[in-house]
């Protein structure tokens, strides 16, 4: 199935119509198991079957837009996020970030591209246990060669922004799940990336904490492109539109997924 990149959402007033990121005809195959080897081949064993995790998927996301990625487990959401983030290359197809074709970059250039332009938020936070919240947030800046004083200042400002000003020196083990996820959001934003991808960011959180984290995403998207994978309906409600995957292909694209407003008690 071929789905043309859809035009930018017409719902978000701040949405710039030029896409920030465009994926065209993306296909991803994973080889499973081990190759049969020479003796295996002599015994008539064939190559392990390849899993096609994505097939002919096209998607584009504009600045100021939140695109939800829906679909059951195994439908290809994480694979698509990783490819758009430049963490993995597709087997076929292209990803263009602004003017840059990611498959034209060397591995080193792709790492640099990610560091400078992409923020990634994982379901399981991926924080370093031995480091404080501030040191975790500052970590991408170490790799970018930012000075220590500026790292501290930027990490502190981000932690304040996500409401963790009194948790700056806490380690992940001393923080709740929602607080750890907010540290992970701060870390994803510390380089001021133009693209933020989040993989099941509320999967580990109770619903109230999840709402707080989602409210933070709305602010994150004000001047960035955000792609949010989830199979959770309340999470997808914050998206301007939702792309639904099924067995590695786009089965449906919805604009105005139910209501775009969420309400957090006590706020």
Contacts with ligand ADP by CB under 6 A: the residue count is 12
Cβ closest to ligand ADP, residue 32 vs residue 38: 32
Per partner kind, with CB cut-offs from 5 to 8 A, the member of Mg ion, ligand ADP, none near residue 71 is ligand ADP
Please pick, from the candidates 18, 40, 47, 51, the single residue that binds ligand ADP as defined by CB under 6 A: 51
Residue 53 engages ligand ADP in binding (rule: CB under 6 A):
yes
Write the binding mask 83 to 102 for Mg ion: x where contact by CB under 5 A, - elsewhere: --------------------
Q: How far is the CB of 248 from ligand ADP (least distance, A)?
A: 7
Per partner kind, with CB cut-offs from 5 to 8 A, the member of Mg ion, ligand ADP, none near residue 79 is ligand ADP
Q: Which of 217, 216, 207, 190 is nearest to 65 (CA)?
A: 217
Q: How far is the CB of 78 from Mg ion (least distance, A)?
A: 3
Residue 73 engages ligand ADP in binding (rule: CB under 6 A):
yes
Stretch that binds Mg ion, among 70-78, 134-142, 145-153, 181-189 (CB under 5 A): 70-78
In the bound complex, which residue of the shown chain has the CB atom lying closest to Mg ion?
78
Per partner kind, with CB cut-offs from 5 to 8 A, the member of ligand ADP, Mg ion, none near residue 74 is ligand ADP
Q: How far is the CB of 84 from ligand ADP (least distance, A)?
A: 12
Residue count (the chain)? 267
**Binding site residues, Mg ion, CB under 5 A:** 77-78
**Binding site residues, ligand ADP, CB under 6 A:** 30, 32, 51, 53, 71, 73-79
């Amino acid at each position: 199935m071929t789905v043309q990149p859809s035009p930018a959402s017409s719902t978000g007033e701040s949405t710039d119509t030029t896409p920030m990121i465009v994926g065209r005809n993306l296909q991803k195959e994973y080889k499973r198991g081990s190759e049969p080897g020479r003796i295996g081949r002599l015994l008539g064993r064939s190559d392990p079957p390849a899993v096609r995790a994505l097939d002919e998927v096209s998607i584009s996301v504009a600045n100021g837009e939140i695109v939800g990625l829906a679909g059951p487990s195994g439908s290809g959401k994480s694979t698509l996020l990783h490819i758009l983030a430049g963490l993995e290359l597709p087997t076929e197809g292209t990803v263009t970030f602004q003017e840059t074709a990611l498959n034209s970059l060397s591995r080193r250039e792709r790492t640099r591209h990610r560091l400078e332009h992409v923020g990634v938020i994982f379901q399981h936070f991926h924080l370093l246990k031995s480091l404080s919240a501030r040191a975790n947030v500052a970590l991408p800046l170490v790799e970018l060669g930012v000075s220590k004083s500026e790292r501290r200042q930027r990490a502190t400002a981000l932690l304040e922004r996500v409401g963790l000003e009194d948790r700056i020196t806490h380690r992940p083990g001393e923080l709740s799940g929602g607080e750890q996820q907010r540290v992970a959001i701060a870390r994803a934003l510390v380089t001021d990336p133009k693209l933020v991808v989040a993989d099941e960011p509320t999967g580990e959180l109770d619903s109230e904490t999840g709402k707080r984290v989602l409210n933070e995403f709305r602010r994150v998207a004000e001047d960035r492109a955000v792609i949010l994978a989830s199979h959770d309906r309340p999470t997808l409600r914050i998206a301007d539109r939702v792309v639904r995957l099924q067995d590695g292909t786009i089965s449906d694209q919805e604009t105005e997924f139910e209501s775009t407003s969420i309400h957090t008690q006590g706020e």
